[in-house]
Amino acid sequence: MSKLNLWIEDPLRLFEIAAGAAIFYLYIVLIVRLMGKRTTSQMNSFDWIINITVGSIAASGILLKNVSFFGALLAIAVLALCQWLTTKLAMNSALFRRVLKAEPRLLVHKGRFLRDAMARERVSEDEIMAKLREQGMSRVGDANWVVLETYGAMSVIPREQIGLDEASLLENVTGGPPRSP
């Protein structure tokens, strides 16, 4: 292989790559629109894995000669269908939802670190303190609750915003108050 071939491919191959990239772009935009807002919102681990996989398949279909263009389009469509079915099942089946989705977990309760929960989730005190600083708080005692959400972000509920001792918004949070009957 000459040094020139390393940098410049056959012009026809360059056209194939450019056309493939444009077609895949339009196709993925269409798939994202069909899948709904959830595809581009804050993702849980499962959503993130699917999106990375779709990107990898698209890149393979565009660049690799041994991966057929239509095979990659089909694989993306099948993944999108599987994702759609999975989210529908999760919405309609509590058992399936428990298996598939993580629950939010309480990391700080009434200004105190919940060290067992932090260890289980592998979240350090420093990470929580950084999130508190982002919210304009200078100490952990300023937070009533810090929750690690299902998509990996931390939510901070300041003490001054809570009028009740326990709030119903913690009912589905692991480590929160018991669920109402």
> pLDDT for 17-75, tens place per residue?
999 999 999 999 898 888 777 666 667 777 788 889 999 999 999 999 899 999 999 99
Q: How deeply is 20 buried, as exposed, middle or buried, from its count of CB atoms within 10 A (0-12, 13-18, 19+)? A: middle
Distance CA(169)–CA(164), nearest Å, equals: 11
- Cβ count within 10 A of residue 40: 12
Please say whether the beta carbons of 60 and 105 come within 8 A.
no
Domains (range + CATH), the chain: 3-99 (no CATH), 103-170 (3.30.240.20)
The answer to whether the predicted template modeling score (pTM) of the entire model surpasses 0.85 is no
Mapped onto helix, strand or coil, the DSSP state of residue 163 is: coil
